[in-house]
Amino acid sequence: MNLDQLVETAKAMVAPGKGILAADESTATIRSRFDAIGVESTPDTRRDYRELLFRSEKAMQDHISGVILYDETIRQFARDGSRLVEIIKSHGSIPGIKVDMGPREMPFFPGERVTDGLDNLRDRLRDYYVHGARFAKWRAVIDIDARRPSAGSVKANAHALARYAAMCQEENIVPIVEPEVLMDLDHDINRCFEVTEYVLKMTFQALYEMRVQLEGIVLKPNMVIAGRKCKTQASVDEVAEKTVQCLKNTVPSTVTGIAFLSGGQSDVAATAHLNAMNAMHALPWNLTFSYGRALQAAPQKAWAGKDENIPAAQAAFYKRAHMNGLASLGQWKEELEA
């Protein structure tokens, strides 16, 4: 393990004004998103779409520090024969890779899941390093309601995250540690705070036990927010205040940076919440974004599978990247969305 290299990469991933593009949708996930815009999902259409993002020069150079890729994408070539990884690197962005195999139901824990993917992970990491990946991502899914999560499911996911992170660092790959408390149901913001605080405490305990070097990771948590079905939705300022307090309670200052997931928030809400946190607080970590849908929904709709729409799609992508870049500095204003 080269800790200096890991720290340098982690710092670059959360550089001021920049954030991470999560372009690691599975084949099934991107198929559903293409269905929504009337585009058939094939290796070529998936390549074409991602290529238009990676060739968005101004967005990539100015606001995208890294790109999380799917296994298919890290091996793909652009229409002109260039490797997609090399296009990303040409803009100064860092290629990364999703390495988990998705959540699976836990035996004896009804309605709770643990993420698979530790088998053969070391060998896969070595292969991905050769293909250009310098960071990785593993997502743990934490289901939440009045009963869930159980201690058993939280500890199982924290343990898997920590084992993954240790193997990444062994192979000189920065691990993105992503424990996501979902926002799908009707829990209120206080229940989200309670569960997120517990999940983060258990995650960092597991990381400590696995001897993971915290200055060589990037944390990718959910924001503390009410479930989308909750009748009472918190204000932007309340989300910011509770999220920051939760992080202060749980995240060691040695962690280099925090790149939030959007978790199904609207484009503007994800930007506003990030901006409020950075505008209101001086914090020991850089706070930025690691968004998928919140960066991509607008360019996908503008593209609609047509080459003649590529400039419009790239303009839409630049706008979302620019808005979130400003939010990572606490400089975004709602009137800029017009």
* Nearest in space to 61 (alpha carbons), one of 34, 88, 41, 43: 88
Answer whether 131's CB lies under 8 Å from 85's CB: yes
Distance of alpha carbon 327 from alpha carbon 332, whole angstroms: 5
Secondary structure E strands in the chain: 19-23, 64-69, 94-98, 103-105, 113-115, 135-142, 174-181, 218-219, 257-260, 286-291
Alpha helix segments (H runs only) across 210-292: 236-250, 267-280
Please identify which of the residues 18, 98, 137, 220 carries the catalytic annotation. Answer: 220
220 is catalytic: yes
Please identify which of the residues 178, 180, 197, 242 carries the catalytic annotation. Answer: 178
Distance of alpha carbon 19 from alpha carbon 16, whole angstroms: 8
CA distance readout (Å), 125 to 130, 159, 168, 174, 222: 9, 18, 7, 11, 25
308 is catalytic: no
Burial class (CB in 10 A: 0-12, 13-18, 19+), 211: exposed
* Nearest in space to 141 (alpha carbons), one of 164, 157, 123: 157
Distance of alpha carbon 99 from alpha carbon 47, whole angstroms: 19
Answer whether 287's CB lies under 8 Å from 277's CB: yes
Say whether the peptide bond before residue 149 is cis (omega within 30 degrees of 0): yes
Distance of alpha carbon 38 from alpha carbon 241, whole angstroms: 40
* Nearest in space to 285 (alpha carbons), one of 16, 66, 60: 16
| Residues with catalytic roles | 178, 220
